[in-house]
Amino acid sequence: MYPLWKSEGVDPDGFREMLVRDLATEIAALDPVLGARVAAVDSAVDAAAGRRMISHPPGPDAVLSLWVDHAGAAPAWTPLLDDRVERWGGYLVAEAEPLVSAMTHPAPPGQRGFGMCQVVFLQQPPRLSRDEWFAIWKDSHTQVAIDTQSTFGYRQNVVVRLLSDSTPPCDAIVEENFPPEAMASDHAFYDSGGDEARLQAHMTAMMESCARFIDFDQLDVLPMSEYLIHSPLAR
């Protein structure tokens, strides 16, 4: 997974179009690449600006996800990143997918996915061991998140290693797909059905669960638009 930063003054929608129609499509055609996805901060998610949290500014403008057989093939595509973005970082990740968005809201290749994709960069708190962190996040919190939010897609990417010296430290990247109404509505985000008591119960349960394994002053949350360029299942 590659967080990407655009040059100052570049239009967010123009940057997204370059990534989707040009860069990611070109990279997806390379032999070592099995699949590609772009998530980008663009005007389509302006309504979700209130959900954005940046503890390590500046937050990335996009994330390029590549499915590959081995990270050692990266020299085949990193020069393309150098040519088209101001800055990039790279993470080798192990992906888990508790909710598969394509099962409920499939999108044609290269077309914008339904709703928004909330991309979250997580740090393991010093107070927890690796095993403790995984036990809370993976074995306990996952179901809480599914039960208290309107997510229809949910991916958990554990960072295995950093792929460049300039890559910001990060322990995991979460991607959550929400319906469009969730950008601005807490009732839609927390799947309350418009019931205020249910909303408060879901918010409280979610925040209390997150506090067990997240230091909020180390959290980065970016609402993005999502484009699946090429599914790895298609090869």
Q: pLDDT digits over 85-130, tens only?
A: 999 999 999 999 999 987 888 889 999 999 999 999 999 999 999 9
Predicted confidence (pLDDT) at residue 233 exceeds the cutoff of 80 = no
- Measured between alpha carbons, how far is 113 from 47 in angstroms, rounded to an integer? 16
pLDDT for the residue numbered 234: 66
- Measured between alpha carbons, how far is 161 from 58 in angstroms, rounded to an integer? 21
pLDDT for the residue numbered 7: 95
Residue 19's φ and ψ, nearest 5 degrees, are -65, -45
Q: What are the tens digits of pLDDT across the range 172-218?
A: 999 999 999 999 999 999 999 999 999 999 999 999 999 999 999 99
For 143, residues 6+ apart whose C-beta sits below 8 A from its C-beta are: none
Terminus-to-terminus CA distance in the chain, angstroms?
Answer: 19
pLDDT for the residue numbered 102: 77
Predicted confidence (pLDDT) at residue 137 exceeds the cutoff of 90 = yes
Q: How many CB atoms lie within 10 A of CB 34?
A: 17
Could you please state the CATH topology (level 3) that the domain comprising 2-234 is classified under: Alpha-Beta Plaits (3.30.70)
Predicted confidence (pLDDT) at residue 235 exceeds the cutoff of 70 = no
Alpha carbon distances (Å) from 212 to 117, 136, 144, 171, 200:
23, 7, 12, 16, 19
Domain chopping of the chain, boundaries = 2-234
